[in-house]
A and B are shown apart, each in its own frame.
Chain A
Amino acid sequence: MIAITIHCLGAFRELGDCFIVEVSDVSVASIREAVSRHLVEINRSDLDGVLKRSVFAEGEELLKDHVTVSGHEVSLLPPVAGG
């Protein structure tokens, strides 16, 4: 298994600055599923709807679910609300 650090932003800050999930492959889709499982484990399934509308980023690149990450850290970006 591969450990991926998830950096939290916006509503996910309620989970802390970051948390770690373990995945069998480094596709964004797998990371998303692992985060969803993590939310169940910590009794925060209320954030699953936000997760479905969120995007992962590695460095300055927004990632689609079919791509794989090259490192072991990603940011989790919920829907944006600037202004």
Chain B
Amino acid sequence: MDLFARNEGERYLCGLIDGPCQTSDLDVFVQDPAHGAIAQFFGVVRNHNEGLSAAAVDYDVHPELALKALSELCLDVCSDYPVKLVMIHSRGLVRVGEASVVIAASSAHRKDALGAVSDAIDQLKIRVPIWKKEIGPDDEQRWLDGHSLRKD
């Protein structure tokens, strides 16, 4: 089941969807007649990692915590930059060449949109409770290490 959250002022939209993310029409969510720049980032599953071949990634998610973390992240980015922002992440199986995360930001001028997208993906990787199980071409599987959320 897909899960989405958006704030009242419609500054941001974030969500989790089952399977790969669609990369088309993402800009529709952030279009604004006062904004002259739209920046987009697509995170795509690649066919290799740490010297090993990969065929797909299976994303495990804590839905409630991940949506909460995505919402807090969007709020932080929107407080740092005058942008409209959309962030969508996959859960479940995403194959090589398919997008697992898509982000778009619009702003009056390009610097803010580009900065917002860059910060958003950097922070997503260390704040949002999502885990990767990499699946190799012969169905071998391994969980990838990541960033600890532990604060004590």
Interface residues, chain A, with chain B CB atoms under 8 Å away: 9-11, 13-14, 53-55, 57, 59-60, 62, 64-66, 75, 77-83
Q: Which residue in chain B gives the minimum CB-CB distance to A49?
A: B145
Given contacts A64-B152, A75-B62, A80-B131, 17 further A-B contacts (CB under 8 A): A9-B129, A9-B131, A11-B131, A13-B143, A57-B65, A62-B151, A64-B151, A66-B152, A79-B146, A79-B147, A80-B125, A80-B146, A81-B131, A81-B145, A81-B147, A82-B89, A82-B131
Q: What's the Cα separation between A83 and B152 when bound, in Å?
A: 25
CB distance from B129 to the nearest CB of A (A): 5
- Tell me if B's interface is mostly helix, strand, loop or mixed: mixed
Q: By the criterion CB–CB under 8 Å, are A82 and B152 in contact? A: no
Of A53, A60, A75, A81, which is in contact with the most chain B CB atoms at under 10 Å from its CB?
Answer: A81
Could you pull out 5 A-B pairs where Cβ atoms are within 8 angstroms? Answer: A9-B62, A57-B62, A64-B152, A65-B152, A81-B144
Interface size on B, residues (CB 8 A): 32
Q: How far is the CA of A13 from the CA of B133 in the complex (A)?
A: 10
Tell me whether B108 is interfacial, beta carbon within 8 Å. no
- Name the interface residues of B130-152: CB closer than 8 Å to any CB of A: 130-133, 143-152
Q: Select from chain B the residue with minimum beta-carbon distance to A11.
A: B143
Task: Evaluate contact between A82 and B101: CB separation under 8 angstroms.
Answer: yes
Is the CB–CB distance between B60 and A83 below 8 Å?
no
Q: B21 → chain A, closest Cβ, in Å? A: 12
The 8 Å CB contact of B149, one of A11, A13, A66, A80, is A80
Q: B64 contacts the other chain (Cβ, under 8 Å)?
A: yes
- CB of A79 within 8 A of CB of B130, answer no
Asked whether A55 lies within 8 Å of B148 as measured between CB atoms, the reply is: yes
* B68 part of interface (Cβ distance < 8 Å): yes
Closest to A8 in B: B60
Q: Flag if A54 contacts B148 (CB, 8 Å).
A: yes
Q: Which residues of B contact A82 (CB under 8 A)?
A: 59, 66, 89, 101, 124-125, 128-132, 146
Give the chain A neighbours of B65 by CB distance below 8 A.
57, 60, 62, 75, 77
CB-defined contacts of B60 to chain A, threshold 8 Å: 9-10, 13
Tell me the minimal C-beta distance from B151 to chain A in angstroms: 6
